[in-house]
Chain A
Amino acid sequence: MKAKSLAVLAALALLVFSGPTFAHHGTAAYDTGNPLTIKGTVTEFRFINPHCQVYFDIKNDKGEVEHWQGELTAPNKLARAGWTKHSLNTGDQITVTGLVGKYGGHSIWIRKLIGPDGQGMQLSED
């Protein structure tokens, strides 16, 4: 069982951390031990340097709407993976997995993103 648990843990770690890691800042502001997966609706997509931003709303356990901000990598890197400023649009349903800010607020450093068509979207050049 222990081996199985470790395998699951390793798979989870690979899933979460196989996104782009070369960022312009480090991970000090993020909880690297507790990756989170959440589903929401895009309210704004900003194709800006140094990191593209996705704003989205989710419904929490109490049924309340929470406004979230997600951070991707640089637009040039996403462009080389085929993205444009139109790749995410208001109203798109997305599921993101990533690291959450340690100091409160609804901020997530996205390591995996399931797009509106239910498929994983490429988050780095290759």
Chain B
Amino acid sequence: MCKGSVNSIWIALALLAIPCVSYAQYGAGKALPGNRNNPEAAKPNTAAPAPAPTHDLSGVWMMRNPPGSNRGFTNYTYTDPKTDLPSLTPWGEEKFKEAKDSNGGNYTLDQTNDPVLTKCYPPGTPRVYFHPYPFEFVQGAKFMLMVFEYDHTMRRIYTDGRPLPADPDPSWMGYSVGRWEGNTTFVVETVGFNEKTWLDRLGHAHSDQLHVRERFRRVDRDHLELDITMTDPKALAKPWTSTFYYQNRPDWELGEISCSGDYLDFNNFESFSFKKKDEAPK
């Protein structure tokens, strides 16, 4: 299968679809029959932006690209795959060739080797941001928790001034320390990864030398911008950077999404059709 051409089709579809998804397919805040219990909950916050509070990220955040944005690629990778490819080392290139992604539209669930989709591996940092669900910051005195709705995933970011470990043990989500830079920017450094996860949903690899820097900039009360810088001398020839955008959702509560049982029963999902004809796609 030609990865590039299929990608192009998917990207075109994504570009078409994303602005509609983000900015209300039925008009802003319009109550609909599907929204029977709490029509008000669907209304976006239209109040003028209030200033960001000092040293406070607490609350529920959901990805929302800026109005008019064509950032369809943020469904599955960090930079526009047509114009801004990451710079990989030969090791990184080799690993990427082995990847068979689903989310980029290239392989079905029966074919993909995506470790999250096929094994329910934790997504890793920062791939966790591609999951289309909210996360919550919970601030403690000595650490910040990031609680992701997807699969109860949690990160603990130490804010007690400790340094990053010089020789960290491997982990899925990494070992994180954070500090405030000014009143509204929280900077997080993360190391200590295993090599079992992908950087993104296309299958770009990272090694145990991955270092992730995140700068959470709360630009006003309701909006958060996240600059991500990935450095990995084994996988990336130069750092890979991106910015993600989030909206505060004060009325939302995180629910349960467990990657088990139904998640791995592909017969429930797209592969239902294969079962009918016993015909795997070629």
Binding site for B on A (CB under 8 A): 13-14, 17-30, 32, 46, 48-51, 53, 69, 71, 74-84, 87, 101-107, 109, 113, 115, 117, 119-126
Contact = CB atoms under 8 A, between A and B. Distances in A.
Interface residue range, chain B: 35 or more
B257 A49 contact: yes
Interface of B: 6, 9-10, 13-14, 16-18, 20-21, 24-26, 29, 32-39, 41-44, 62, 75-76, 101-109, 111-112, 117, 131-133, 149, 252, 255-259, 262-263, 268-277, 279-281
A113 B269 CA distance: 18
B200 to A, nearest CB: 13
Contacts, number: 178
Contacts of A50: 257, 259, 262-263, 269
B117 A25 contact: yes
Given A103-B281, A122-B34, A122-B35, A29 B132 contact: no
Contacts of B279: 103-104
Contacts of A17: 13, 16-17, 20
Interface SS of A by simple majority: loop
A126 B273 contact: no
Given A69-B272, A101-B272, A120-B32, A80 B281 contact: no
The 4 closest A-B pairs by CB, nearest first: A105-B276, A22-B132, A121-B34, A105-B273
Contact of A87 (B36, B259, B269): B36
**B33, B38, B76 — most chain A CB neighbours (10 Å):** B33
Contacts of A102: 273, 281
A82 B37 contact: yes
20 contacts: A17-B16, A19-B25, A21-B14, A21-B21, A21-B75, A22-B132, A26-B101, A28-B108, A49-B258, A50-B263, A75-B255, A76-B149, A76-B255, A82-B36, A83-B35, A102-B273, A103-B280, A103-B281, A105-B274, A107-B270
Contacts of A124: 21, 25
Nearest to B106: A28
A105 B252 contact: no
Given A80-B42, A105-B274, 20 more contacts: A21-B21, A23-B132, A24-B117, A26-B106, A28-B108, A29-B109, A29-B271, A32-B9, A49-B258, A50-B262, A71-B269, A74-B257, A103-B274, A103-B279, A104-B274, A106-B273, A120-B26, A121-B34, A122-B26, A122-B32
